[in-house]
Structure 1
């Protein structure tokens, strides 16, 4: 899958005091750039330092076959897909917590290549976790 990166940031879930500020600002800037567009938006997690406790990059991207791809997700990757409860105010955060719990329990073997959140125009959200 070829994606055009709108904005990116580098951060850490546990050691970056500006984590929420960085991610909030990233989404705000990307939303401004994508205003009035009805597209599926991707939050792509990549360039992992180690596991979910290490540094990583988060890029906001869209599918764009008309321009040079700035980020290409490998087609051969197997993913486990987690549906986010969009009725929950913290649905995305709670889904990530479940993913980390499954990993810590040894029942989710993550590849730490490219993971992504997929935001559909109609409001559905899915999180794709790359598997070993």
Structure 2
């Protein structure tokens, strides 16, 4: 799958005190460009400097041939998929906390290549974590 990048930032979950604001502004700025878009929207995590405690790049992307930068999701990459309960306040962030906890416990062996959140047009949210 090839995704067209609409906008990107670099941040850190634990050392950037403005991380929630920076990510919120990225999504706000980018989704404003997609008012007539009806497909899935992706939050793509890549360019990891180490693990989930290090710097990474977050891009908002779509399945479209808009031109510009693209991110390729390899067909042969294995993923563990986590479904987010959208009824829970801050459900995406809480699912990421669960993912980090699984990793800390040794129950999730992450590849740190390309991970992504998929926001479907029907409202479902899934987080895909690349596995070793």
Give the TM-score of the pair, scaled to structure 1.
Answer: 0.96
Q: How many residues align?
A: 132
Structure 1 runs of 4+ aligned residues shifted over 2 Å read 65-69
Q: CA RMSD in A?
A: 1.2
CA shift in 2, pair 1:66/1:10, >3 Å: closer
Indicate conservation of the 8 Å contact 1:110/1:130, yes or no.
yes
**Which structure 1 residue ranges, 5 or more long, are not aligned?**
none
Contact 2:4/2:66 (8 A) holds in 1: no
Supply the distance in 1 between the matched residues of 2:99 and 2:126 (Cα, whole angstroms): 12
Q: Is the 8 A contact 1:82 1:126 kept in 2?
A: yes
Structure 1 position 125 matched with structure 2 position 99:
no
Q: 1:39 to 1:109 in 2, by over 3 A?
A: same
Structure 2 stretches of 5 or more lacking a match? Answer: none
Which segment is superposed worse, 23-32 or 63-72? 63-72
Residue 70 (structure 1) aligns with: 70
